[in-house]
Structure 1
């Protein structure tokens, strides 16, 4: 039976060092890569290479030897792991999610290929599905399912209470939604608060951005935001 490892939010790889420089007291940054068939993950921190292969059955932890420049990217070489990071767009093979880098790992002589680095923005919003992480700077209630889906000319979803839908258009940097049509169910507490905040946000055009962690950021003229993560 085919098994997949969970997708991870991936920060960008800094040129040559692979891990951005850290300020005193910062949590160490990490670079993540993933692959499928067989499923594997690789985490590169300033001190370690942490490889989990064969759906987690193979585990290799090695000191980070530092990145060597290579054609189109960087290379890490240890006695058990060789990692080649090539700055060429990559698809994860099980969705339309795209990454900045193509990553090849040779672990104890076995070579696998996958993707890593910054998650790239989707080619278009139509056909994508998202869930809310925060609205108005507040984390959404964990016990209230949320969603936002974009069809060719309509969006639909739930901000934790009622189902809503509207027409939508975008010029690539701004999203404009028609009046949101919603069911009339009353919800107590955080669900109604976060829904009201989202409906207010969408009353006017919002700026759309795609940070390198793969989220979708909607920002209103007053600075209020909604942060969503891709549903795969």
Structure 2
């Protein structure tokens, strides 16, 4: 089992890996996140700090951000205990099959680890991915029941908070068309039934697919209503 250090307990976890590192020492970016496995490590770069947690949380290094200098197809940070090379080359984290914009190498007190960072790229295909709902129609999903959506080669299945559903789908990478859905007939009180009805209405027509760099999936129907999901697998 792969263990990760406690820094993963951020509000959006690894989905926060969206900011672009500075191109010059004077640039002031939002925070940049990178991570790796075996051993598990994370790195946060803010305008003022390099914050590294390695060896599954046993190693912690916090030092001033020295500013980025040009590196090979990317940027390099050289601190007293940390040296960070960010290369703008696609990277897979090796566990969840998420793909990231950057390949990151960190030398911490002379020990070198490699991993991924930057914006999360869209999956190469929907098939084999699984997602959990964040919101439907602009409303956060109701708690108490799992709301998820999974894609196989030609079929999708899941629950929008009440009944289980499944059906066929086709996608060209930008548009999703779901076939007739079959669903169980359980009645759920309150918000769960409302959000399910909203999602079924959204899937009734062509749905636009968007993959923001925070790793989410946004499904938008013809009427402008949308559902936001985060990657589970």
TM-score interval w.r.t. the shorter chain?
Answer: over 0.9
Instruction: Classify 1:217/1:21 alpha carbon distance in 2 versus 1 (closer, same or farther; 3 Å).
Output: farther
Q: Secondary structure at the match of 1:8?
A: helix
Partner of 1:43: 44
Deviation at 1:157, TM superposition (A): 0.2
Partner of 1:69: 70
Tell me the TM-score normalized by structure 1.
0.92
Measured in 1, the distance between the counterparts of 2:145 and 2:26 equals: 36
Deviation at 1:12, TM superposition (A): 3.8
Q: Secondary structure at the match of 1:200?
A: helix
> 1:186-205 alignment to 2 at 5 Å?
186-205=187-206
Measured in 1, the distance between the counterparts of 2:21 and 2:109 equals: 27
For residues 30-56 of structure 1, the C-alpha deviation after alignment (integer angstroms, 9 at most, x for no partner) is: 110000000000011111111000001
Instruction: Classify 1:133/1:40 alpha carbon distance in 2 versus 1 (closer, same or farther; 3 Å).
Output: same
Deviation at 1:111, TM superposition (A): 0.6
Instruction: Classify 1:138/1:21 alpha carbon distance in 2 versus 1 (closer, same or farther; 3 Å).
Output: farther
Measured in 1, the distance between the counterparts of 2:170 and 2:27 equals: 36
Q: Secondary structure at the match of 2:14?
A: coil
CA-atom RMSD in angstroms: 1.8
Is residue 16 from structure 1 mapped to residue 23 from structure 2 by the alignment? Answer: yes
- Tell me the number of residue pairs that the alignment of Structure 1 and Structure 2 aligns: 226
- 2:25/2:66 contact within 8 Å kept: no
- 1:69/1:75 contact within 8 Å kept: yes
Partner of 1:3: 3
For residues 56-87 of structure 1, the C-alpha deviation after alignment (integer angstroms, 9 at most, x for no partner) is: 11111111111001111000111010000000
Q: Secondary structure at the match of 2:199?
A: helix
Instruction: Classify 1:20/1:147 alpha carbon distance in 2 versus 1 (closer, same or farther; 3 Å).
Output: farther
Is residue 89 from structure 1 mapped to residue 90 from structure 2 by the alignment? Answer: yes
- 2:2/2:37 contact within 8 Å kept: no
Tell me the TM-score normalized by structure 2.
0.92
Measured in 1, the distance between the counterparts of 2:158 and 2:145 equals: 12
- 1:65/1:76 contact within 8 Å kept: yes
Instruction: Classify 1:92/1:17 alpha carbon distance in 2 versus 1 (closer, same or farther; 3 Å).
Output: farther
Unaligned runs of 5+ in 1: 23-28
For residues 91-144 of structure 1, the C-alpha deviation after alignment (integer angstroms, 9 at most, x for no partner) is: 101121110000000011111000000101111001111110110011112322
Partner of 1:124: 125
Runs (4+) of structure 1 moved beyond 6 Å?
none
